[in-house]
Chain A
Amino acid sequence: AQKVTQAQTEISVVEKEDVTLDCVYETRDTTYYLFWYKQPPSGELVFLIRRNSFDEQNEISGRYSWNFQKSTSSFNFTITASQVVDSAVYFCALSEAFNSGNEKLTFGTGTRLTIIP
């Protein structure tokens, strides 16, 4: 069975500090996809990034960066120079393959990030 663990339930940092959100996953699939989503207070889940299991390159997008390490089954997310607008709940998710094509996502329990001005 697939599993995603986000051990950090809540994190608070002062604005402009860097913060890393941890994500550890379990899967028996050899091909899989990992995602990060942001859920602001308004409720919708905002897609941030997708990474497939064959691409271990780290990625940077502005203040956001992601570190994918297959050897430790981790897909961590770092926000540099955090801002108040980064306050949200962040979810890591893992795709589960079905023969029929698309798949369901297994979500972690989320990390509530609060940026203190």
Chain B
Amino acid sequence: KAGVTQTPRYLIKTRGQQVTLSCSPISGHRSVSWYQQTPGQGLQFLFEYFSETQRNKGNFPGRFSGRQFSNSRSEMNVSTLELGDSALYLCASSSGDRGSPLHFGNGTRLTVT
């Protein structure tokens, strides 16, 4: 069974630009979550999608948005990039049941200059 696939692996963007990250979940998984990992803040929850609906959202500004498609694939968008958005963005999929473990992808490392 293929794991969670994130593309691209690396991105370099300039302040003010926008970026879209992509995530393909494990086949059969209906829930996709996104996390931001930085040295200073650690791992922080961004949002979770289940059956194309955002089910939960973390404490991030509206510049961070996402969506999920009917095939469960998900995209995350960050607009008006700031230097502080430089991070490893991790996508995880699960069955969506309470307590089901998250299975993470390799992440997309975003650098904002």
B103 within 8 A of A: yes
Number of contacts between A and B (CB, 8 Å)? 72
Contact with B along A95-117 (1 / 0, CB 8 A): 10110111111111110000000
B55 within 8 A of A: yes
- Within the complex, the shortest CB–CB distance from B47 to chain A, in Å, comes to 9
- Determine the interface band of chain B, counting residues with CB < 8 A from chain A: 20 to 34
Sample of 17 A–B contacts (CB below 8 Å): A43-B109, A44-B3, A45-B104, A46-B104, A47-B101, A52-B99, A98-B55, A100-B55, A102-B31, A102-B50, A102-B94, A102-B97, A103-B99, A104-B45, A104-B48, A106-B45, A110-B43
Task: Tell me the B residues contacting A by CB distance below 8 Å.
Answer: 3, 31, 33, 35, 42-43, 45, 48, 50, 55-56, 58, 88, 90, 92, 94, 96-107, 109
